[in-house]
Amino acid sequence: MPVQQLVSASVRVIWAAIWSLTWCGPAIAQSASPPWKYDLRPGDHLVYRYSFEREFKGETQSKTRAQFTTHVLVTGEQNGRLSIGFQRNRQTADLLLYREKGHDKLAQELPKFQNRMARRPVRFSEANEFSPTGVGLDYWQVNRENTSRMLFAVHEIEALPQTAVKIGDTWRGGGLLSWNFRLAALENLGDTSCYRVEGKAAPEGAELVYWWCPVEGFIRKLIFYAEYPGGEGETIVERAVFELTERRRHESLETWLRAPDTQQAAMQSLLLSPWAVFPLPALEEVLHSNDGEVQSQALAILFQRHLAVTDRNRVVELSASNDPLVKSTAAQLLDAKPAATAPSRADECPAPPPKYIPQRLGTSLRVVADGRGDQLFMVHVPLDYRGDRPFPLLIYLSGGAGFAIDGVRTGDDVLSQSEYIVVYPQAGGLWWKPEIASRVDALLKHVLDEFNVDRNRVYVAGYSNGGTGALYYATLWPQRFAAVVSLMGAGQCIPEIADSLPNVVNLPILFVHGDKDPLISADCSQETYTSLMKLSPRVHPEFHILKGRAHEITLETDDGLSLPFLQKQERDPSPTRVSARWSDLSYPRRYWVELLHKSKDTAEVDAQIKTDGTVAITTDGASQIRLLLRSDMFPKAGQVRVVLNGKQVFRGPVPRNCQAAGEPLTATDEMLRFDLPLELETRR
């Protein structure tokens, strides 16, 4: 089966080590020299010259080089926390080599490369808070200038050893990669004495060398090298070099906010650190910029800090902007009032309103404990998210080995301009394996607890391995989602999905495939679409074949099909008809039907709420079921009849039970749960 080749064993081994986030204290000998600390204070500005080269080795060979200028800004300090913004401005980008099967194709590919680069931003910014020794104090923002699986973990400020070191000492490093560091030598860089520190990551082929200059109190030079598997039989080689060119002191936030080379870094830091003080007039000047990204950042700072603007007319103008992010953030600022509480239903159990903690905006790398250790994921939080109103949620599953960073690099450019909270889980394997599904289930529950999510606008999408996974998760948890997008997915070519297609007949589903796909045949999507149509789905699925396209369709390259499709969909949490099939009971619920026990390997239930208040149920292989009902699911109040396999087993009002059979309502269950007063025995 071609889709089974999606995951390389070597990639799984490498990335299991790469994603280790725990900082281990240094095992080093003591020295008379004092521990290293950065000499950084508010107003400091470091400028680096930075180059990045990437080479692909396989049937197709290519080499690219890009040159950047990095601005590192210390915008504030509070109780030992340094708020620092980074802005990397691209100066040049070149395609140096392109060969296919030994043939030089550089002339043909160069215009395509130049067009891609013209569409990409030239400025990239992120921010974090650091200790004086360079240890990151919170989740890392991820908005990097290259689509690398490793570079996002390398910065101009690296965590230093936490105790004094001397030449020859070794220690385990902090940061996002599990570095083993060694203090190699004392060398001169120009007229400055600096220590050369050499690091190797747990995966083979990743190296980091930096020169720490204790007199100056910062890293003067850093070289990063990585070699790792790419796609089918492909190797990726990357090299980045950062060299300090200038250090400035006592600069003002006002100056940074007014300069295009630094204003994004300054605003990212202000968004990150609500305690940082800034000049309001300089920020409001940014609203008159022609750059949509900086306009949206400035609006977000005002919105997040509940600040009134002096130039309200300008905000009104921006609320009609063609830039969707500027438009939505300006509209939120104009209407910055506490969100109204939705009226309670008459039959709803009383509960205190949930409180949602503040969230880091933008795209960041996070971890959550799921009972089996730390689970890594990435999340994008819109600039106008404050937790006081619900936002739609998109779960985006990447292809290949299911790495979160690949989801970000194939979706974040378009999704960061949308209204969605976007969660990028990490598989490190095939999404439809039970152990990975269990981790995604735990992650989704965590996200729904942490974020104010519109439960009727939760979506799942993915490409390749992730397109298969998106449809698989819809078969497991159809009641959670409003719609599904499967890009280049294997669909019912995977037995686990083929056996469970009846579970998704209530869900809007979009299939997109390339007719030249050599890895997963478009026939898989076609056959899945045809099989669904035979089941008479409530909403007809959509199916698109993209002519001349191979295995390279993502949310950013889907001809604009996915996001408009999702925008139209809203969940029906209680469809009047539920058709469901279970091969195991790991996830027993399908909408308002829950299978408690089964008498066959596969159990099936078809349940329908009729206009006269009758719940008609037929089963095969089910020995015990439970109904999760609400009175407003019925056309009128009064008596409810439950007819099971042609026999009436219950008649009366919908019983009310706020404890849901002794269990609290879960984060994924917005319906009030009612157990019937007797278990429905369906043995025949």
- Enter the tokens of residue 347: 């039959």
- In sequence order, what DSSP letters do the residues of 237-306 get, joined into one string? EEEEEEEEEEEE-S--HHHHHH-TTTHHHHHHHHHH-TT----HHHHHHHTT-S-HHHHHHHHHHHHHTT
Asked if residue 11 lies in contact with residue 230, where contact means CB atoms within 8 angstroms, the answer is no
User: Which of 179-188, 347-356, 464-473 has the least mean pLDDT?
Assistant: 347-356
Q: Residue 410 and residue 564: Cα distance in Å, rounded?
A: 17
Query: What percentage of the chain exceeds 70 in pLDDT?
Result: 87
**pLDDT score recorded for residue 31:** 45
Hey, what domains does the chain have and what are their CATH numbers? 2-23+37-248 (2.30.230), 279-334 (no CATH), 362-567 (3.40.50.1820), 577-681 (no CATH)
Categorize the per-residue pLDDT at 656 as very low, low, confident or very high, splitting at 50, 70 and 90: low
**pLDDT score recorded for residue 143:** 78
Q: pLDDT at residue 235 above 70? A: yes
**pLDDT score recorded for residue 559:** 96
What is the strand order of the sheet 640-644 is part of? 577-582, 603-609, 614-620, 640-644, 647-652
**pLDDT score recorded for residue 352:** 66
**pLDDT score recorded for residue 337:** 58
- In sequence order, what DSSP letters do the residues of 367-411 get, joined into one string? EEE-SSSEEEEEEEE-TT--SSS-EEEEEEE-STTT-HHHHHHHH
Token pair 């030079």 is found at 221
- List, for residues 566-596, the tens digit of each pLDDT value: 999 999 999 999 999 999 999 999 999 999 8
Q: Which among 102, 94, 123 has a CA at the least distance from the CA of 267?
A: 123
**pLDDT score recorded for residue 148:** 80
More confident residue, 618 or 680: 618
Provide the pairing of β-strand 614-620 with 603-609.
antiparallel
- List, for residues 20-69, the tens digit of each pLDDT value: 333 333 333 344 468 899 999 999 999 999 999 999 998 899 999 999 99
- List, for residues 246-259, the tens digit of each pLDDT value: 999 999 999 999 99
Average pLDDT, the chain: 86
Query: What percentage of the chain exceeds 90 in pLDDT?
Result: 66
More confident residue, 459 or 9: 459
Q: pLDDT at residue 145 above 70? A: yes
Token pair 């997963």 is found at 520
Compute φ and ψ for 325, nearest 5 degrees.
-70, -40
Q: Please state the pTM of the whole predicted model.
A: 0.86
Average pLDDT value for residue range 355-365: 87
- List, for residues 508-549, the tens digit of each pLDDT value: 999 999 999 999 999 999 999 999 999 999 999 999 999 999
**pLDDT score recorded for residue 176:** 63
**pLDDT score recorded for residue 59:** 87
Q: pLDDT at residue 296 above 90? A: yes
**pLDDT score recorded for residue 484:** 98
Categorize the per-residue pLDDT at 175 as very low, low, confident or very high, splitting at 50, 70 and 90: low
Q: Per mean pLDDT, which of 212-221, 621-630, 659-668 is the most reliable?
A: 212-221
Q: Residue 452 and residue 449: Cα distance in Å, rounded?
A: 8
More confident residue, 660 or 420: 420
